[in-house]
Structure 1
Amino acid sequence: RAAVVVVMVLFMATIAARLALAFMAAAPAGARPRALLEDGELPVVTILVPLFKEAEALPGLAAALGELDYPAEKLDIKLLLEERDHVTIAEARRLNREGRFDLVLVPPSAPQTKPKACNFALPTARGDLLVIYDAEDEPEPAQLRIAAETFAAAGPELACVQARLNFYNADENWLTRLFALEYCLWFDHVLPALDRLGAPVPLGGTSNIFRTDALIEAGGWDPFNVTEDADLGLRLARRGWRTHMIDATTFEEANCRLPNWLSQRSRWMKGFMQTWLVHRRGPVTMQGWKRALSLDLLIGGTVIAALLNPLLWAASLFEQVTGASAAGLVPAPFGDAAVLSLAVGNLALMGLAAYAPARRGLWHLSPAAILAPVYWLMMSAAAYVALWQLVARPHFWEKTRHGISAGAPARRRQALRSLGFD
């Protein structure tokens, strides 16, 4: 009974934390200080792009990197290619006719993960700053300049800045709309509120710009963690470093097919499980409620809420249909509170999802929030897959397919034309 009560309290606290952070992010805040830099004053930036079976996405990536508002001579761009991925290697060589990219061939070894590839290339980085981009990314042109100027205005405690993430195909179908609402909530509300509080910021999987020396001192990425980004954000905080959000966006391809979404989401859930378990073992070195907010409510709590959500629905339906109560497992006050939390929490989070795109003015996405309870049940399915994989295949990296949206072929043709490949 005690364990059930603890889990239910965590479920309720997770919902309350997201609501509180969203309200905090809505409050006016001053602009992040920046020191305006001339081109000659900008630092060299290393761009790492880990790739695996991404030949179709490469033209768009190459075109997007060419649009960056940053001196070309100060970009150290490295495409990280798995040595046996001959198709992607061939496409990278074809597109690299001007020699803008360094092609880094990562030798086969276990685990075959994105963080392992990044660690392999880290010693070769020439930049004072280092950023990760994914194959389908389209960063806003000013993003690196904004990051460099933010670092220039900050003290040595700033180790990382995180750009906001969103999607260029948010309107494709019901799944992409819900995915976009989730990203609006997370990157435009929750993470900025954590930054404002000075709490640890679980990094997104792309568009995190680091001070290279701090990244090396922190030990790089955990090659065995399948959400190495969230883990690294917590490790930076544990060392006393800060992460700031910057007002620049990278646009990605939202998963538009349910099986692909499920594979990606189960990997994220498994990574959150790994991150929570790793940071909760041994001596507690990042004390206080801010640590608990990021680690226990937003990482551990996300997993617990996803696992518990269908059970609460089942218990509520069972009680409604049979008139029986689950009080044998949960003391009556907590049982009633759980049902109330399920109802009020779902309504509150639906409202929050509908409000989430306010910052971007994407109100046309808000009606999709009515399907949010269905989306959360999909997350629950992914969480149970992740729980099984945590035991059976803990370090297996489920590959997310890119370039499958309806507009992908046209985007690829446009990118190739812009690169001079007619």
Structure 2
Amino acid sequence: MRAVERLVPHRLADSFADHAANGLFRQSPEASARAGLTVSQKKLILLAGFMLVATGLIWPAIVWASVQIAAALFFTLLILFRLAAVILPPRLAPSRRLDDADLPVITLLAPVFRETAILDQLMRALGAIDYPPARLDIKIILEEGDAGTIRTARQLAFDSRFELVIVPPGVPQTKPRALNYALRFARGDIISVYDAEDVPHPAQLRAAAEALAAGDERLACVQAPLNWYNDRKSWLTRQFALEYAVQFQAILPLLTRWGMPLPLGGTSNHFRRSALEAAGGWDAYNVTEDADLGFRLARMGYRSEVIAPQTLEEAPETLAPWVKQRSRWLKGFLQTLAVHWRSPARLPVKAHLSLMLTIGAACLSAMLHLPLLLLAALLPLTGIADFHAPAAGLLLCGYAANMLCAGIAIRRAGMRTRLIDILRMPLYWPLQTAAAFKAMAELRTNPYFWAKTEHGFSRAPETECPSPSPSSCRSSPLPPLPSAHGRPATSRIRPKVRA
């Protein structure tokens, strides 16, 4: 059958689109990135920068020693954090077994934009989800100006679970704005989010429903772990897989164990609808709306936990798209820090710690890793200061802790890696500096621009892995998807190009 489309009168569609973009800002201006930096934040940044430069010119040795002490304290905290993630077993959300008749209706939101190359794969992946069809409401969300993807979607065959929702034009044209628009038409008590290239484990929705059923009303969201199905394509994708394993198999489970807020991933999060709407939905002006929403929920007294069944995605295979994607993430992280530190006294202590150990650490590492390495190498040559052995030892301990954490986490994910890839991790981290500088420049000139990550260069594997663990299954079988005319849909993969 042809796709069913959500038809909305033009007048209402424009009103709904405006609310999707600006509803949170109108409801709570301080909770939206649209407000930008406050006057007091700008003054504090300028004052801190002036003091650092002035002091560095007058007493460079003292400033260098202070930088080393501050870095040592922060590094020590991160080392202990990584070691705790290795030592303590992952804590997953408890679940309560539900019969099919007791499962709640789930609305699955899947925003797509310029995704003709991968839309057929998405349909097969979502169609393979093991959940009662009558209780599954799948919204494929498209932008009105994306004629190519809309045309492709209309040519594919859908069953009764699927509906196309076309978002009217407007600004900012971002994923969270599209999610907010489609949320208005959702039928489910649980709202799940997937990206265009996602291949979720078939049991993931059931696991999410059973985890939310076992929790109280304060459990607002459960996050599924993410990783890449093209992790073996290049050195860059292998490093990305190690990084994601650390985040989703070590860091997030540890934060859950300690009752700390989670910086949610942009996909495979499953929300209790009442909590999501109470929080105002997603911030259309934050380009990492997922991480921001995790902390906004925490400010309201909600919590998030993690479940086991994994989702696999397509990682950028070359440096140029990787930098583009990472710069958007870092720009959004900076927006999130600015939003949640507008009123620091209203943020719980655990939320401050989580912000610092996750988003704050990511931003600092990206901005300072390469410059500090160069400074440590060049400063002794000037005779102004030395890079002492204890500082070098602490740096090596930090590297070792991260490598150990990555090795354990990738095994928890059920994925394989090589020792040489773990040893090469220190070569990967400085690459983030270029993305950080790009993010800071964009934050000033184009803060709400959503840098699109191109997909379709790799296809998801078609066979199921032999692992008995649902969290380590690398993929689910993707049956051929027929077109609306009954013929198998052709793959629309563009030829791979060099960045």
1:356 maps to which residue? Answer: 409
Alpha-carbon distance, 1:306 to partner: 1.5
1:394 counterpart = 2:447: yes
1:252 maps to which residue? Answer: 313
1:269 is aligned, of 313, 325, 330, to: 330
Structure-2 separation of matches of 1:314 and 1:72: 57
Structure-1 separation of matches of 2:180 and 2:293: 13
Q: Specify the SS of the correspondent of 1:244.
A: strand
1:204-227 Cα distance to aligned partner (Å, 9 max, x none) = 010000001110000001100000
Structure-2 separation of matches of 1:183 and 1:409: 19
Which amino acid is 1:417 matched to? P
State whether residues 312 and 342 of structure 1, in contact with CA within 8 Å, keep that contact through their aligned partners in structure 2: no
Structure-1 separation of matches of 2:81 and 2:72: 14
1:206 is aligned, of 267, 291, 297, to: 267
Alpha-carbon distance, 1:9 to partner: 5.8
State whether residues 14 and 305 of structure 1, in contact with CA within 8 Å, keep that contact through their aligned partners in structure 2: no
2:457 maps to which residue? Answer: 404
CA RMSD across the alignment: 2.5
* Structure 2 CA distance for partners of 1:365 and 1:115, relative to 1, 3 Å: farther
Seq. identity, % = 46
1:211-222 equivalences in 2 (<5 Å): 211-222=272-283
2:364 maps to which residue? Answer: 304
2:220 maps to which residue? Answer: 159
2:436 is aligned, of 383, 405, 408, to: 383
2:118 maps to which residue? Answer: 57
Q: Specify the SS of the correspondent of 2:187.
A: coil
1:325 counterpart = 2:384: yes
1:71-124 Cα distance to aligned partner (Å, 9 max, x none) = 111111111100010110111111244353211111111101000111111121
Alpha-carbon distance, 1:408 to partner: 6.3
1:371 counterpart = 2:420: no
1:139 maps to which residue? Answer: 200
State whether residues 83 and 405 of structure 2, in contact with CA within 8 Å, keep that contact through their aligned partners in structure 1: no
State whether residues 21 and 189 of structure 1, in contact with CA within 8 Å, keep that contact through their aligned partners in structure 2: no
Which amino acid is 1:177 matched to? R
* Structure 2 CA distance for partners of 1:12 and 1:184, relative to 1, 3 Å: farther
Alpha-carbon distance, 1:157 to partner: 0.9
* Structure 2 CA distance for partners of 1:121 and 1:382, relative to 1, 3 Å: same
State whether residues 18 and 190 of structure 1, in contact with CA within 8 Å, keep that contact through their aligned partners in structure 2: no
After the TM superposition, which of the residue ranges 392-401 and 362-371 deviates more from structure 2? Answer: 362-371
Structure-2 separation of matches of 1:164 and 1:18: 21
2:179 is aligned, of 104, 107, 118, to: 118
Q: Mark the runs of 5 or more structure 2 residues left unpaired by the alignment.
A: 1-51, 57-62, 464-476, 489-499
1:100 is aligned, of 161, 165, 188, to: 161
Q: Specify the SS of the correspondent of 2:118.
A: helix
Structure-1 separation of matches of 2:129 and 2:414: 25
State whether residues 192 and 245 of structure 1, in contact with CA within 8 Å, keep that contact through their aligned partners in structure 2: yes
1:233 maps to which residue? Answer: 294
Q: Mark the runs of 5 or more structure 1 residues left unpaired by the alignment.
A: none
Structure-1 separation of matches of 2:70 and 2:456: 38
Which amino acid is 1:87 matched to? G
State whether residues 357 and 366 of structure 1, in contact with CA within 8 Å, keep that contact through their aligned partners in structure 2: no
> TM-score by structure 1 length?
0.90
After the TM superposition, which of the residue ranges 7-16 and 65-74 deviates more from structure 2? Answer: 7-16
2:35 maps to which residue? Answer: none
Alpha-carbon distance, 1:156 to partner: 1.1
Alpha-carbon distance, 1:240 to partner: 0.6
State whether residues 262 and 295 of structure 2, in contact with CA within 8 Å, keep that contact through their aligned partners in structure 1: yes
State whether residues 11 and 301 of structure 1, in contact with CA within 8 Å, keep that contact through their aligned partners in structure 2: no
Alpha-carbon distance, 1:144 to partner: 0.5
Alpha-carbon distance, 1:8 to partner: 5.7
Alpha-carbon distance, 1:323 to partner: 5.6
Which amino acid is 2:359 matched to? I
State whether residues 189 and 356 of structure 1, in contact with CA within 8 Å, keep that contact through their aligned partners in structure 2: yes
1:19 counterpart = 2:79: yes
Alpha-carbon distance, 1:363 to partner: 4.2
Alpha-carbon distance, 1:391 to partner: 0.8
State whether residues 229 and 461 of structure 2, in contact with CA within 8 Å, keep that contact through their aligned partners in structure 1: no
State whether residues 95 and 210 of structure 2, in contact with CA within 8 Å, keep that contact through their aligned partners in structure 1: yes
Alpha-carbon distance, 1:409 to partner: 11
2:9 maps to which residue? Answer: none
2:373 is aligned, of 313, 331, 339, to: 313
* Structure 2 CA distance for partners of 1:224 and 1:159, relative to 1, 3 Å: same
1:344 counterpart = 2:397: yes
Alpha-carbon distance, 1:292 to partner: 2.2
State whether residues 90 and 250 of structure 2, in contact with CA within 8 Å, keep that contact through their aligned partners in structure 1: no
Which amino acid is 1:325 matched to? I
Count of aligned pairs between the two proteins: 411
Which amino acid is 2:223 matched to? Q
* Structure 2 CA distance for partners of 1:127 and 1:18, relative to 1, 3 Å: farther
Structure-2 separation of matches of 1:397 and 1:7: 34
* Structure 2 CA distance for partners of 1:31 and 1:392, relative to 1, 3 Å: closer
Structure-2 separation of matches of 1:197 and 1:409: 36
1:417 is aligned, of 473, 480, 497, to: 480
1:372-414 Cα distance to aligned partner (Å, 9 max, x none) = 1221111111111111111111111100011113x46999xx9
State whether residues 79 and 102 of structure 1, in contact with CA within 8 Å, keep that contact through their aligned partners in structure 2: yes
1:67-86 equivalences in 2 (<5 Å): 67-86=128-147
> TM-score by structure 2 length?
0.77
1:176-219 Cα distance to aligned partner (Å, 9 max, x none) = 10000000100000010001000010000100000011100000
1:293 counterpart = 2:353: yes
* Structure 2 CA distance for partners of 1:32 and 1:120, relative to 1, 3 Å: closer
* Structure 2 CA distance for partners of 1:218 and 1:362, relative to 1, 3 Å: same
Work out which of the two has the higher radius of gyration on C-alpha atoms and give 1 or 2: 2
